[in-house]
């Protein structure tokens, strides 16, 4: 099944308290553009993220405010500012990385809250039922083209709020597969290894099939040699 790709650039979710610290008491975020999950928006406000080795400016703030402040950056951003955030699902912040946020009204040292977002699929209940996925299952998504690859371990998040099924990846993942927001990728249907394998093989072109055939043949030949050696040893032992 074809699904839409959404590329998440680095962004920040703020708690009410941290919003006040960074922008001033009683400050309200101003929506600039609503996102595919229509309750959320990119605000006009921007912040700077500082780490031990550098800083990144002009980082978008996503509204509305949330219970916990959460900073989502790419692995590359982490190298730029000198921190190593864990790959986590949104909201799972215990023991995540630290950084400083700089706003027009003040600075804020976050002891934790910086993550590299784990890739995920927002799935409609209808698609989940049709394709056989449960909430928090892992899916595989295949990307074709000169940077073709398979995204495995894509967490499925099913919610009645989802109006369509969409994979969310960060900018490092998007660049690796040469994807942009609005592109399409192929979601493998069923959370069953054998079926997934058959679907994968069906998607390979002749060159890829030849390479797979060669590697499988050499693996089988090597295994046969190993079995022969063990059989010889067994004969000696049994004697
Ligand atoms: Zn998402």
pLDDT digits (tens, 9 = 90+) for 175-197: 999 999 999 999 987 666 677 78
Q: How far is CA 235 from the centre of its chain?
A: 52
Q: Measured in angstroms, how far is the CA atom of residue 117 from the centroid of ligand 1?
A: 9
For the domain made up of 1-190, the CATH class stated in words is mainly beta
Question: For residue 154, how far is its CA from the centre of ligand 1 (angstroms)?
Answer: 11
Rama region for 18: left / alpha / beta (φ>0; ψ in -120 to 50; rest): alpha
How far is C-alpha 237 from the chain's CA centre?
52
Q: What are the sequence ranges of the domains in the chain?
A: 1-190, 204-239
- Confidence tier at 71 by pLDDT (50, 70, 90): very high
What pLDDT is attached to residue 200?
A: 82
CA distance 212 to 68: 47
Q: What is the pLDDT of residues 13-53, one digit of tens each?
A: 999 999 999 999 999 999 999 987 668 899 999 999 999 99
How would residue 202 be classed by pLDDT, with cut points 50, 70 and 90?
A: confident
Average pLDDT across the chain, whole number: 94
Separation of alpha carbons 151 and 119, rounded Å: 9
Ligand 1 mean position, distance from CA 115 (Å): 14
Distance 51 CA to ligand 1 centre (A): 25
Instruction: Look at residue 174 in the predicted model and tell me its pLDDT.
Output: 98
CA–centroid distance, residue 184 to ligand 1 (Å): 16
Q: What is the mean pLDDT of residues 203-232?
A: 93
**Rounded distance between C-alpha atoms, residue 188 and residue 17, angstroms:** 42
Rounded-to-5 percentages of helix, strand, coil across the chain:
30, 35, 35
| Centroid of ligand 1 to alpha carbon of 174 (angstroms) | 14
Within 68-205, residue ranges assigned H as helices are: 75-81, 125-131, 171-176, 193-203
C-alpha 36 to ligand 1 mean position (Å):
9
**Which long-range contacts link 93-98 to residues 24+ away (Cβ below 8 Å)?**
93/68
Look at residue 191 in the predicted model and tell me its pLDDT.
61
- Nearest CA to 75 out of 173, 6, 181 is that of 173
Phi-psi region for residue 35, left (φ > 0), alpha (ψ -120 to 50) or beta? beta
């Amino acid at each position: 099944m074809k699904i839409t790709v959404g590329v998440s650039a680095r962004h920040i979710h703020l708690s009410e308290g941290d919003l006040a610290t960074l922008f001033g008491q009683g400050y309200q975020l101003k929506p600039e553009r609503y996102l595919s999950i229509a309750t959320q928006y990119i605000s006009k406000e921007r912040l700077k993220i500082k780490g031990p080795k550098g800083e990144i400016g002009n980082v978008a703030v996503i509204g509305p405010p949330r219970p916990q402040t959460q900073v989502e950056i790419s692995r590359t951003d982490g190298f730029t500012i000198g921190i190593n955030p864990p790959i986590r699902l949104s909201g799972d912040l215990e023991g995540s990385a630290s950084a400083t946020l700089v706003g027009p009204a003040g600075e804020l040292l976050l002891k934790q809250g910086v993550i590299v977002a784990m890739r995920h699929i927002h799935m409609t209940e209808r698609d989940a039922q049709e394709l056989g996925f449960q909430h928090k299952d892992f899916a595989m998504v295949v990307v074709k083209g000169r940077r073709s690859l398979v995204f495995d371990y894509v967490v499925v998040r099913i919610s009645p709020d989802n109006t369509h099924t969409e994979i969310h990846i960060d900018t490092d993942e998007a660049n690796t597969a040469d994807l942009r927001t609005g592109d399409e990728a192929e979601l493998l249907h069923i959370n069953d290894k054998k079926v997934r394998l058959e679907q994968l093989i069906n998607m390979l072109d002749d060159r890829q099939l030849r390479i797979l055939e060669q590697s499988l043949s050499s693996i089988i030949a090597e295994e046969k040699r190993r079995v022969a050696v063990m059989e010889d040893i067994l004969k000696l032992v049994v004697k």
